[in-house]
């Protein structure tokens, strides 16, 4: 498997995980409350800002996942955007760690969130090293 094929596969995998966020755009609140409790986060807060943030952030994540699939269709053509995403994910790793830690998220969430971003970003950049490859 070539570096471009591996990068395309990685982008599709990451995009697929993000596309799953679309579920929360339409998920019943009762399911969210159950998930919140199951994750050990206690009772889910009430109020319109919570639902606004959950649903809009989920939509944004889902759309970013769709964009990763589009980028994966031609990694050479979209090489600058692939690199931008790699840098963005690397930068997100410490930012997400601080947000998760200071928000009181469970340790497993904080660590996995940060490491996933770091590894994904590093892999995208590593696979993009050197000059753009010709098809």
Question: What span, in angstroms and rounded, lies between the C-alpha atoms of 113 and 99?
Answer: 10
Average pLDDT of 84-89?
A: 97
pLDDT at 22: 97
Q: CA 132 to CA 135: how far, in whole Å?
A: 9
pLDDT attached to residue 39? 87
Q: Rounded CA gap, 47 and 84, in Å?
A: 36
Q: What is the pLDDT of residues 24-80, one digit of tens each?
A: 999 999 999 999 999 888 899 999 999 999 999 999 999 999 999 999 999 999 999
CA 111 to chain centre: 14
Distances from the Cα of 35 to the Cα of 19, 41, 50, 57, 128, angstroms: 18, 9, 15, 17, 37
pLDDT level of residue 93 (50, 70, 90 thresholds): very high
Instruction: Work out the end-to-end distance of the chain between its first and last CA atoms, rounded to an integer number of angstroms.
Output: 14
- b/e map of 116-127 (b: 16 or more CB within 10 Å)? bbbebbebbbeb
pTM exceeds cut of 0.95:
no
């Amino acid at each position: 498997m070539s570096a471009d094929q591996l990068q395309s596969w990685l982008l599709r995998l990451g995009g697929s995980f993000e596309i799953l966020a679309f579920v929360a755009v339409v998920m019943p609140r009762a399911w969210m409350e159950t998930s919140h409790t199951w994750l050990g986060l206690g009772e889910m807060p009430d109020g319109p800002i919570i639902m606004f943030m959950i649903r809009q952030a989920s939509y944004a994540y889902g759309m970013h996942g769709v964009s990763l699939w589009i980028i994966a269709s031609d990694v050479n053509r979209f090489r600058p955007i692939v690199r931008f995403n790699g840098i963005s994910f690397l930068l997100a790793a410490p930012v997400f760690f601080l947000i998760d830690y200071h928000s009181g998220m469970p340790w497993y969430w904080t660590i996995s969130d940060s490491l996933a971003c770091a590894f994904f970003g590093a892999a995208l950049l590593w696979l993009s090293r050197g000059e753009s490859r010709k098809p």
